[in-house]
Amino acid sequence: MRFASPRYGALLMAVALTVCLTIPALAASPVIREDNPAASDASPLALALAGVQAMLDQEAANAGAQYAMPLHALNMRREVISGNIVHYSFEVRFGEGKYDRFRLHRVVKEAKPGRPIQTATNIFLQHGDYKDFTGMYLPGLYSPSTPDDFGIAVFLARNGVDVWGIDQTWTLVPADETDYAFMADYGMARAIRDMNLGIAVARAVRLATACGPGKMILSGYSSGVWSTAGLLSQETQLPPLRRQVNAYIPIDVPIKTSDPGWQTVFLNDMAMCDAGLAAGVYNGFVPFQTLGLLARNHPDDPSPIIPGFSNIQAANFLSFAPGAGFPSPFHYWAGVLDETGFPTGPRLTDRELWLDFLESGIAWQPYLWWKEIDIFALAPLDGMDSPFDDHLGDIRVPLLNVAAAGGVGAVSLPALSLLGSEDVEVLIPSLGPPMETDLAHIDIFTWSGSETMFWRPMLNWIKAHSEGPGGLLFASDDEAGATPPPGNAILSFGLERIVPNPQRGPLVLSFTLADGVSARLEVVSVSGRLVHSAEVGDLGPGRHQLQLGGTTHLPTGVYLVKLTQNGRVSSQRVTIIQ
C-alpha cells in the first residue's frame, strides 16, 4: 500500500465548511456521545472524516497512489472530567492492519452538555516517548490519589483553550502483544504523517462545531519535539494555504544539539536500536511501567532492572538522580537527595502521583522511530543526514521554547538559531540552586506548582498567538494581499467587499481600477487550483462589476479572489453554495 503525501491544510476546510453551512444544525450537535461505539453518519465527526477522506483521495489520485480503505472513527468516548470540562477521545482507523490507527483527544469546555464552546484559541499536543496523551497531559485521570481535573489540558480548557492531542500508534499496543511486525517501518515519516492527519481531523471537527477554520498551535514534548519540528520543516514546502500550524511550543528537548554529553546519549540510543533491528526486534522496551509496579508492590525486592538495587532504589535512581542515563544535571523529577547524594523520593511532585505516573507508562515503542529521532537530533554529526530537517531554516512561525532548569534547560537554546522564526520567546523557570534538585523534565506536568511556573505563562502566550476570531481559512492578510475596507467604500484600487458571503449562483465581483494598465482578476480554489483568470485592465480606471463564468457557476467550496495591478494586490475569501 502506498500513501500520497498528506497535504490537507485549507482544502479539507472547504468540505467541512460546506457541511456546516448546508446542515446548520450540526454545529450544535455533540461531537460524540458518551461511550458511543460508532459515530452517526450525520455527526460532525463523521462528516469531518468524510471531508478529510475526500481530500486524501484527491491527493492520492494526484500522486498515483491510493488509500486502502476510508477513514473510520472507532471507540469514541465522552467523559466529564469536572463541571463543564469534558474529555473526548476516539481512534482514527486508516487501513486494514491491526495497528493502522491512532487515537485523538479533545479536552474542551462545554457551553451545555455535548456542545463545545466556540473558541478560536487552540493547541495540538504531541506526547513524547514512554507516555500517551492522557498520562502526560491528564495525569489526574490515571492517579486515584490525585483529583481527576489535575493536568495542563484541564487548566488550558478551563481558560478557553480547545485542547487537542494524539496518541501515536505504539501507545495503543498492549503489553501482552506478540506481533510487532508493524513497527518494522514505523519511523518518523509515519509519526509525522499520522500527526498531520490528526491535525487535519481536529481542524475539520473544530470547524464543524463552530470553532472556526483557523490553523492550530502545535506543541511537542520531549521526543515529540523532534516529530513536531519535522512536521514543521516539511510544511514550509507547502503553499501558505495548505499549512496547518500557525505557532509552535517545543518543550524540554533540544531540536538539535552539539553538546558532547547529549550527543553521547543519542549515539548510545542509536547503537541500542541498531542492535535490536539487526536481530529482527522492532519493539523497544519502555521501563516506566515495570519500575512503578515493582517499586509500589515489591519495594525491597532485588531490582531486575538495576542489579544491586532494590526495586524502590531503582525507581528513585532513574527518576530523581542527576545524570542517570543523561548528562548531569538532567533528571526526570526534582528529588530529595540523602547525605551521599542518592535520591530518596520526589521533592515537588506528589509521591503517589509519581508512582501512578510510572505505572501508567506504555509498554513498547518502535526502534526505527527511536533511531530516527536520534539522527534528527545529531545530524550533521559524523556525516549523519536526516530527511526531516532539511527546511528548519524556513520555519518562521512564532515560537515559545519551554524548558525546566533541572531538565534540558539552557541546552535547548542554541538550536533555536537554526530556525527562521523571528518571534521567539523562552520560558525556563527555576526554583534556584542546586540545579541537581531543581524542577525537572516531568515536573512540568506533574507538580502542582507548575500551574504558576509553566502553565499560566504558556496560556498567555497561546492566547496572544492564536488566530483571530473565527481563524483564517487562507493565508494572513500580509500573505494574501490588501484587506478590503468596510462596507462598499469607494476605492482608488481594490475589490469591494463581497456581499452576501456565502453566495449562491454566479459569482459577481465589484472592483475599482486605478488606471488603464494591465490588471488581472483571479479566482483560486483552496487546493491552489486556478479556476478563473481574466485580464481586466482594458476596462479602464474606475468602478466595474463582473459576473464570472457566464452561466457556468462555480461548484460549492471556498475560494480566494485576487485582483492585481501595478504590483498592488487586493484579495478576499468567498464561500459558494450551489
Is residue 492 pLDDT above 70, yes or no? Answer: yes
Confidence of residue 259 (pLDDT cuts 50, 70, 90): very high
Comparing 313-322, 352-361, 482-491, which segment has the lowest mean pLDDT? 482-491
Distance CA 326, CA 334 (A): 15
Amino acid at 327: P
Pair 248, 304 in one domain: no
Task: Give the model's pLDDT for residue 578.
Answer: 62
Q: Do 345 and 452 fall into the same domain?
A: no
The whole-number average pLDDT for the span 323-347 is: 93
Least confident range from 52-56, 325-329, 339-343: namely 52-56
pLDDT at position 46 over 80: no
pLDDT at residue 444 in the model? 98
Q: Which of 465, 489, 510 is the last residue of a domain?
A: 465
- The reply to whether 412 and 298 lie within a common domain is no
**289/296 Cα distance (integer angstroms):** 11
Residue 532 pLDDT = 87
- Read off the C-alpha cell for 124: 495540538
Domain end marker among 437, 465, 493: 465
The verdict on residue 277 lying in a domain is no
Q: Are residues 174 and 206 in the same domain?
A: yes
Average pLDDT over residues 557-574: 81
Q: Is residue 383 part of a domain?
A: no
Please check the confidence at residue 17 and state whether its pLDDT lies above 50. no
Cβ–Cβ < 8 Å for 449, 348: yes
62 and 195 inside one domain: yes
How far, in Å, are 511, 546, 570 from residue 506 at the CA level? Answer: 16, 10, 21
The percent of residues above 90 in pLDDT, for the chain, comes to 56
Residues 113 and 223 in one domain: yes
Say yes or no to pLDDT of 88 above 50.
yes
User: In the predicted model, is pLDDT for residue 483 greater than 50?
Assistant: no
The string of pLDDT tens digits covering residues 192-248 is: 999 999 999 999 888 888 787 789 999 999 999 999 999 999 999 998 888 999 999
Tens-digit pLDDT profile for residues 518-555 = 999 988 875 567 888 889 998 988 889 888 765 557 87
CA 217 to mean position of chain CA atoms: 7
Please indicate, yes or no, if residue 266 is contained in any of the structural domains: no
Residues 129-147: tens digit of each pLDDT? 899 999 999 999 999 999 9
Residues pairing with 74 in the sheet: 91
Same domain? For 441 and 502 the reply is no
More confident residue, 408 or 467: 408
Residue 366 counted as domain residue: no
136 and 189 share one domain? yes
Domain that holds residue 297: 287-359
pLDDT at position 63 is 57
Q: Cα–Cα distance between 444 and 441 in angstroms, integer?
A: 6
267 within domain boundaries? no
pLDDT of residue 397: 94
- Side by side, the strands of the sheet bearing 519-525 are 530-535, 519-525, 557-565, 568-576
Q: What is the pLDDT of residue 363?
A: 86
The amino acid at 280? G
* Band of pLDDT at residue 299, cut at 50, 70 and 90: very high
**Residue 352 covered by a domain:** yes
Among 465, 488, 516, the domain-final residue is 465
Give the cell for residue 170: 505504539
In a domain? residue 324? yes
- The candidate with the shortest Cα–Cα distance to 312, out of 355, 347, 350, 362, is 355
What's the pLDDT score for residue 553? 73
Total Cβ atoms within 10 A of residue 58: 14
* Residue 403 sits in the same domain as residue 255: yes
Same domain, 308 and 248: no
Q: Could you tell me the pLDDT band of residue 56, with boundaries at 50, 70 and 90?
A: low
More confident of the two residues 484 and 477: 484
Q: Crossing angle, helix 44-63 and helix 188-208, to 10 degrees? A: 130
More confidently predicted of 106 and 67? 106
| Model pLDDT for residues 63-78, shown as the tens digit of each residue | 555 544 567 888 889 9
Per-residue model confidence (pLDDT) at position 124? 98
Bridge partners, residue 312, by sequence: none
* pLDDT averaged over every residue in the chain: 84
256-275 average pLDDT score: 94
CATH number of the domain to which 561 belongs:
2.60.40.3080
Same domain, 59 and 181: yes
* Alpha-carbon gap, residue 572 to 570, rounded angstroms: 7
> How far is it, in rounded angstroms, from Cα 214 to Cα 28?
19
Residue 52 has pLDDT above 90, yes or no: no
Domain count for the chain: 3
> How does 358-384 read in b/e, with b if 16+ C-beta sit within 10 Å?
bbbbbbbbbbbbbbbbbbbbbbeeeee
Asked whether residue 274 is assigned to any structural domain, the reply reads no
Which three-class secondary structure string do you get for 301-341?
Answer: CECCCCCCCEHHHHHHHHHHCCCCCCCCCCCCCCEEECCCC
Residue 506 clears pLDDT 90, i.e. is over it: no
Spatial CA neighbour of 11 closest among 57, 43, 46? 57
For the ranges 102-111, 491-500, 536-545, the maximum mean pLDDT occurs at 102-111
CA-based nearest residue to 217, from 478, 475, 461: 461
Burial label for 425, CB within 10 Å (0-12, 13-18, 19+), is middle
**Do 124 and 38 share a structural domain?**
yes
Residue 55: pLDDT band (50, 70, 90) is low
The CATH number that applies at residue 84 is: 3.40.50.1820
